[in-house]
Structure 1
Amino acid sequence: MDKIRIKKLDVFAKHGVFKEENVLGQKFVFSATLHLDTAKAGASDALEDSVNYGEVCHFIREFAEGRTFRLLESLAEHTAAAVLDRFPLVKGIDLEIEKPWAPIGLPLESVSVEISRGWHQVFIALGSNMGDKKKYLDDAVEALDELEGCRIVTVADYIETEPYGGVEQDDFLNSVLLMDTRLEPDVLLEKLHEIEAAADRKRTIRWGPRTLDLDIIFYDDMLLHTPTLTLPHPEMHKRSFVLDPLVQIAPWAWHPAIGKTVRELWEELK
């Protein structure tokens, strides 16, 4: 990924733990590295194919001057999120905020907080086999697209599938969607559970009927195993109701544990 760097942007703003800092204000120094693909702009020589770093500088200054945060950590987190939301071509940002006049009663050059944030590519499987199945899936897609720090890229066709797991029940309506998110996996999982709960999802019978089922299939190329989440989804390569819609929108997607593409996994299962 290519980079545009902004170094030592001075901003006078009102952030700090002490009341005087919130009233009188002080200097903050912003440095940012924007991660993006500059190849198209390099070939076209057109500003609209890149990110206007002047606009980014003015945006950061206006954002920092128009709000008050107690902690540098919070100022950095919200500034990074705002830049990612405002400038779609920016895929990631490394942001450092220095506070040269930090009131600690000792001589120092500055204190700073430095963070890295960015968009992650996530595939989520959706399923329902109770009530108005299509409405449950439609509502889930809408809820995900409305989540702060999330944006839907594409949704596969809805397909009818037979139930999985041996429990006698109605057929399912399934799909898979591709989404960009700024949320970390554990936070995203919590949000998925909240959306399921809003759809009156009950977890009583393993592989039993449900109003809504949302599973993270891939999160970038992350390999993760915790008590609550395994990535990639440990059963996805065995499930046609996942691979059939997934191969429609992302046959190129790579399974980092198995070392095969979605199309290869789909062909093997078929």
Structure 2
Amino acid sequence: MDKLYVRDLEVFAFHGVFEEEKKLGQKFLISLELTLDLKKPGRTGDLNASVHYGELSQKVEKEFNKISYDLIETACNKISEFVLLKYPLVKEIKVSVKKPWAPIHRNLDTVEVEITRKRSRAVLSLGSNLGNKEENLKKAIEIIDEHSLCKVLKTSSFIRTEPWGYTEQDEFLNCAIEIETILAPNELMEFLLETEQKLKRERVIKWGPRTIDIDIIFMDDIVSNDEHVILPHPRMHQRLFVLEPVNEICPFYLHPLINKRVFELLEIAKETH
């Protein structure tokens, strides 16, 4: 993928822990590394197919001065989110903020924080078998879509399925959605757990009845063994109630470990059930 750079944009702002920093302000140097596809503007000269770096610099300076933060880590993160939300063409951004006048009473060139953030695609599986199942699913999808750093791209139909694991319970209503998000996997998982709590999810029996269940099935081609968020979902290829709705919206998604596409996993799962 191609790159666009803005290096050491000089901005006067009021970030810092000390009161003097917030009152007097100081110089900061902001650098941006944008990852995006520049083939079309390179061939056609169409500025709308790229990012106007002059406009970008002005907008970043304005955003950087909106709020006074204690930490340049926070300011750096806010800039990365701002650019990804403002410029859909940008797939990934690396932002660095230098603080050459850092008040630490030592000789130094600069203090610098660097943050990388990216735009990701994730596939989620949703299920409900308590209360108004359809409303539970719709409300969960609405909450996800209303998050400032998430956008629902595709939604499958709702399908009725028999319970899996613990069978002494009512049938489920299941669906799948594909989202675009700027959240990292652990941040997305935290948000989904909060969403379950909002919809009164109670974890009493493993695989038991629930108002809502939301699982991350895929997130880009990430493979993670973090206990908090295992990717891809370790049992998705065994579950028809996951595979069938996922197959509706992204049949060609490639499982990064099994090396088979969703439609192939569905065919195999049907043969073994």
| TM-score of the superposed pair, with normalisation by structure 2 | 0.94
C-alpha deviation, 1:98, in angstroms: 1.0
Deviations 1:57-88, CA, capped at 9 Å, x for gaps: 11110011222111111110111111111111
Match of 1:50?
50
Amino acid at match of 2:212: L
Match of 1:137?
137
C-alpha deviation, 1:117, in angstroms: 0.9
Runs of 4+ in 1 over 4 A off after TM superposition: none
Deviations 1:8-44, CA, capped at 9 Å, x for gaps: 1111111112111111111111110011122333344
C-alpha deviation, 1:166, in angstroms: 4.8
> SS in structure 2 opposite 1:260?
coil
Say if 2:166 and 2:206, in contact at 8 Å, map to a contact too: no
Match of 1:151?
151
Percentage of pairs with the same residue: 44
Match of 1:221?
221
Instruction: Report whether the alignment pairs 1:255 with 2:263.
Output: no
Match of 2:37?
37
Match of 2:61?
61
> SS in structure 1 opposite 2:109?
coil
Deviations 1:179-219, CA, capped at 9 Å, x for gaps: 12222222222221111112121212222221111011112
Match of 1:234?
234
Deviations 1:158-195, CA, capped at 9 Å, x for gaps: 11222222513222111111112222222222221111
> SS in structure 2 opposite 1:255?
coil
Match of 1:124?
124
Unaligned runs of 5+ in 2: none
Match of 1:188?
188
Amino acid at match of 1:178: E
Pairing of 1:105-116 with structure 2 (within 5 A):
105-116=105-116
Amino acid at match of 1:255: H
Distance in 2 separating the partners of 1:39 and 1:217: 32
Deviations 1:239-263, CA, capped at 9 Å, x for gaps: 1111111111111211111111112
Distance in 2 separating the partners of 1:29 and 1:163: 56
Instruction: Report whether the alignment pairs 1:8 with 2:8.
Output: yes
Q: CA RMSD in A?
A: 1.5
Distance in 2 separating the partners of 1:214 and 1:81: 25
Distance in 2 separating the partners of 1:259 and 1:100: 48
Instruction: Report whether the alignment pairs 1:265 with 2:253.
Output: no
| TM-score of the superposed pair, with normalisation by structure 1 | 0.95
Distance in 1 separating the partners of 2:161 and 2:42: 47
Pairing of 1:66-81 with structure 2 (within 5 A):
66-81=66-81
- Aligned residue-pair number: 270
Distance in 1 separating the partners of 2:229 and 2:114: 28
Amino acid at match of 1:63: E
Say if 2:76 and 2:95, in contact at 8 Å, map to a contact too: yes
> SS in structure 1 opposite 2:108?
coil
